Amino acid sequence: MPTPSTAIRHVGDPVLRTRATPVTAFDDRFRALVARMFEAMAAADGVGLAANQVGNDLAVFVLDCDGVRAVVANPELELVGDLVETEPEGCLSVPGHSWPTPRRARATVRGQDEHGRPVVLAGEGLLARCLQHEVDHLAGRVYLDRLPGPLRRRAWAAVTG
């Protein structure tokens, strides 16, 4: 498992487009990665952070969102409800930008915590958006990919241009 720095990777870094590898060892080294991820997220004033955002290819994210602080490894996402326009969504890997991003109204994630024990998180509103956002990262997607056509083109031009 590569050791990440605390530097958050930005759009354009190929690691953000890489599908994560399942976590198989829930050992001290893995828990140290999780601790560094929480530190990096807090330092950047974020509400969620996926491992690839700090240069690690493992399928794990941390969040401190809407009153829920958690670690989820090997997440499986279940979505409920229609797509809804949300408040503008941002990302630590796309600093300085936010765009209204369609997301499902409710979401449930099943996975494992930092010790390998089962964990289930379910929510709506901001928590549902956080869960969807972080699972997207682990699939090699950024939230800009979820924007509708013309808005997506405008957002990518603003971010990369």
Q: Can you tell me the distance from the alpha carbon of 15 to that of 13, in angstroms, rounded to the nearest whole number?
A: 6
Q: Residues 6 or more apart from 134 whose CB is under 8 A from it? A: 48, 49, 50, 61, 63, 72, 75
The neighbour count for residue 92, using CB atoms within 10 Å, is 21
Q: Is 134 a catalytic residue?
A: yes
Q: Please spell the DSSP secondary structure of 75-129, one letter per residue.
A: EEEEEEEEEE--SEEE-TTSTT-EEE--EEEEEEEEEE-TTS-EEEEEEETHHHH
Catalytic residue among 78, 89, 114, 134: 134
Q: Can you tell me the distance from the alpha carbon of 128 to that of 149, in angstroms, rounded to the nearest whole number?
A: 23
Q: Looking at the annotation, which residues are catalytic? A: 134
